[in-house]
């Protein structure tokens, strides 16, 4: 079966479904659900979010130049959807969604306490693109729920039950099929257990033969 050719459109799926929290000084904090979010640089750590200028959160982020990206889990999917369809102009989204605003260390914008990973961001640039404006931001810090850390302090993000957004649907992440570099990683050599057993048997037989020879020599000496 062949392919159909469609007009240009956004078909880069799945993408992260995140809740972005922001606040102006002295005003209630707000949450906007964003699908157009991503990593743009590793060093320095940078991210981007794209927001329509008509959205209530746009002016908040533009003025404060700060926001927090909060990862969404299975348990937070309903709240994320709700925060994406009601406006902060008329609603306190934290209250409506049953979420808790949490003080962050590096930015004045609050994080969402119920989210397992909160990424603190400061805007460094805004690029007007068309339907959306993209905020480029430095990552100032990351708050991680301790329940996701193993005994050595390593992050086990698979335990978070994160959600992705795919062409209008919220989806759970699936089964792990590999890790970075697994396609070229050398496989550990298999132990030749059969060969070891043969060697052990040969050694046993050799020891038995040696003992028998010694016994025979001893008996011969006694006869003489």
Specify the pLDDT at position 223: 41
CB neighbour burial string for 147-169, b if at least 16 within 10 angstroms, e if fewer: eeeeeeeeeeeeebebbbbeeee
Specify the pLDDT at position 38: 96
Neighbouring residues of 149: CB distance < 8 A, sequence distance ≥ 6: 155, 156
β pairing state of 111-112 and 101-102: antiparallel
- The C-alpha atoms of residue 144 and residue 156 are separated, in whole angstroms, by 11
DSSP reduced 3-state for 106: coil
Specify the pLDDT at position 222: 45
- The C-alpha atoms of residue 159 and residue 150 are separated, in whole angstroms, by 11
Q: What is the pLDDT along the chain (224 residues), one digit of tens a residue?
A: 899 999 999 999 999 999 999 999 999 999 999 999 999 999 999 999 999 999 999 999 999 999 999 999 999 999 999 999 999 999 999 999 999 999 999 999 999 999 999 999 999 999 999 999 999 999 999 999 999 999 999 999 999 999 999 999 999 988 889 999 999 998 877 776 665 554 555 555 555 555 544 445 444 444 43
Query: Is the separation of the CB atoms in 51 and 135 below 8 Å?
Result: yes
Query: Is the separation of the CB atoms in 76 and 83 below 8 Å?
Result: no
pTM of the shown model: 0.82
Picking from 71, 66, 72, the residue whose alpha carbon sits closest to that of residue 140 is: 66
- The C-alpha atoms of residue 168 and residue 10 are separated, in whole angstroms, by 11
Neighbouring residues of 135: CB distance < 8 A, sequence distance ≥ 6: 48, 49, 50, 51, 61, 67, 123, 125, 126
């Amino acid at each position: 079966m062949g392919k159909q050719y469609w007009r240009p459109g956004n078909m880069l799926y799945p993408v992260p479904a995140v809740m972005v929290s922001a606040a102006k000084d002295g005003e209630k904090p707000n949450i906007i659900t964003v699908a157009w979010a991503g990593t743009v640089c590793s060093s320095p750590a940078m991210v981007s979010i794209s927001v329509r200028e008509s959205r209530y959160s746009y002016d908040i982020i533009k003025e404060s130049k700060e926001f927090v990206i909060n990862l969404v889990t299975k348990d937070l999917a309903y709240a994320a959807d709700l925060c994406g369809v009601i406006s902060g102009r008329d609603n306190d989204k934290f209250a409506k969604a049953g979420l808790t605003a949490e003080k962050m260390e590096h930015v004045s914008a609050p994080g969402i306490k119920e989210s397992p990973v909160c990424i603190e961001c400061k805007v460094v640039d805004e690029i007007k693109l068309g339907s959306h404006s993209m905020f480029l931001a430095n990552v100032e810090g990351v708050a991680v729920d301790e329940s996701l850390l193993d005994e050595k302090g390593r992050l086990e993000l698979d335990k978070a039950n994160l959600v992705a957004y795919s062409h209008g649907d919220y989806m759970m992440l699936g089964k792990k099929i590999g890790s970075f570099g697994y396609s070229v990683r050398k496989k550990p050599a298999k132990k030749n257990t059969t060969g070891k057993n043969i060697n052990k048997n040969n050694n046993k037989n050799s020891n038995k033969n040696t003992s028998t020879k010694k016994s025979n020599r001893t008996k011969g000496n006694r006869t003489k």
